[in-house]
């Protein structure tokens, strides 16, 4: 029986996603490990993790922050880890957009909420999102460690990263799929290390 065009279309997307993830495996995950080590050390010293992104990447930032604040695994019922997604409430976002421009939203959040020793995970598939770049620049000046989850060879953002996980693709959807997988791997790493350090306790 011949496959329908609809089925072929869906299979093609899955196969492409798998291919990109395989390329990520081939290039290695040293950056994820380094980000995990630095972020864990930051939390152990009383600092926090901030995350930001645009569109689907903003949702990924919120998703990953929730994994830290609440829990990642159902069997790991533990305290929350200090993490915050910088896509704040609609009043804050629209006020900034109206008064200063949407490019400034994450920069203002970093300046207002960030502290030396914190970590910023900036998610941008293009690596060129202006609001992300402004946030990264502000964080660097404040002594905040800057980590990029990027695509498209990293774009301008790669210059401001202490560490970067770069997906070898220019397909936005496939980059985002790899980002959330890498994000889960990173949050899992941080959770395990914080449990081992006796910072977190299972209930």
Q: Which two tokens stand for residue 5?
A: 């065009």
pLDDT tens for residues 99-155? Answer: 999 999 999 999 999 999 999 999 999 999 999 999 999 999 999 999 999 999 999
Q: State the pLDDT at residue 27.
A: 96
What is the SS3 assignment for 165-190?
EECCCCCHHHHHHHHHHHHHHHHHHH
- The mean per-residue pLDDT over the stretch 156-170 comes to 98
Helix then strand then coil, % of the chain, to nearest 5: 60, 10, 30
Question: What is the pTM assigned to this prediction?
Answer: 0.95
Q: State the pLDDT at residue 1.
A: 55
Q: State the pLDDT at residue 19.
A: 98
Contact between 111 and 143 under an 8 Å Cβ cutoff? The reply is no
Q: What percent of the chain has pLDDT over 70?
A: 99
Contact between 122 and 52 under an 8 Å Cβ cutoff? The reply is yes
**pLDDT beyond 80 at 66:** yes
Q: How far apart are CA 175 and CA 149, in angstroms?
A: 9
DSSP character string of 70-87: T-SSTT-------EEES-
**Domain 5-196: which topology?**
Rossmann fold (3.40.50)
Whole-number mean pLDDT of the chain? 96
With cut-offs at 50, 70 and 90, classify the pLDDT of residue 76.
confident
Say what the alpha-carbon torsion angle 126, 127, 133, 137 is, to the nearest 10 degrees. 170
Domain boundaries, the chain: 5-196
With cut-offs at 50, 70 and 90, classify the pLDDT of residue 88.
confident
What residues have CB less than 8 Å from 169, skipping those under 6 apart?
A: 20, 23, 151, 152, 175, 178
Q: Where are the alpha helices (DSSP H) in 45-157?
A: 56-69, 90-99, 105-113, 130-141
Q: How far apart are CA 203 and CA 201, in angstroms?
A: 6
What residues have CB less than 8 Å from 34, skipping those under 6 apart?
A: 163
Q: Which residues pair with 121 in a beta bridge?
A: 51, 147
Residue with tokens 């380094």: 34
* Alpha-carbon Rg for the chain in angstroms: 18
Residue with tokens 């997604």: 85
């Amino acid at each position: 029986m011949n496959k329908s065009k609809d089925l072929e279309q869906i299979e093609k997307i899955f196969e492409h996603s798998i291919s990109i993830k395989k390329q990520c495996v081939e290039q290695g995950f040293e950056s994820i490990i380094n980000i995990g080590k630095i972020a864990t050390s930051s939390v152990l010293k009383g600092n926090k993790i901030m995350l930001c992104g645009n569109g689907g990447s903003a949702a990924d930032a919120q998703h990953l922050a929730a994994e830290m604040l609440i829990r990642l695994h159902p069997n790991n019922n533990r305290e929350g880890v200090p993490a915050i997604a910088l896509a704040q409430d609609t009043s804050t976002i629209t006020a900034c957009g109206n008064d200063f421009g949407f490019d400034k939203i994450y920069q203002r959040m970093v300046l207002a909420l960030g502290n030396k020793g914190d970590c910023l995970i900036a998610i941008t598939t293009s690596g060129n999102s202006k609001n992300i770049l402004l946030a990264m620049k502000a964080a660097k000046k404040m002594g905040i460690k800057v980590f990029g989850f990027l695509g498209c060879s990293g774009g301008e953002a790669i210059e401001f990263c202490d560490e970067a996980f770069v997906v070898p693709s220019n397909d936005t959807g496939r980059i985002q799929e790899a980002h959330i997988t890498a994000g889960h791997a990173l949050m899992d790493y941080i959770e395990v290390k914080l449990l081992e350090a006796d910072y977190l306790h299972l209930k």
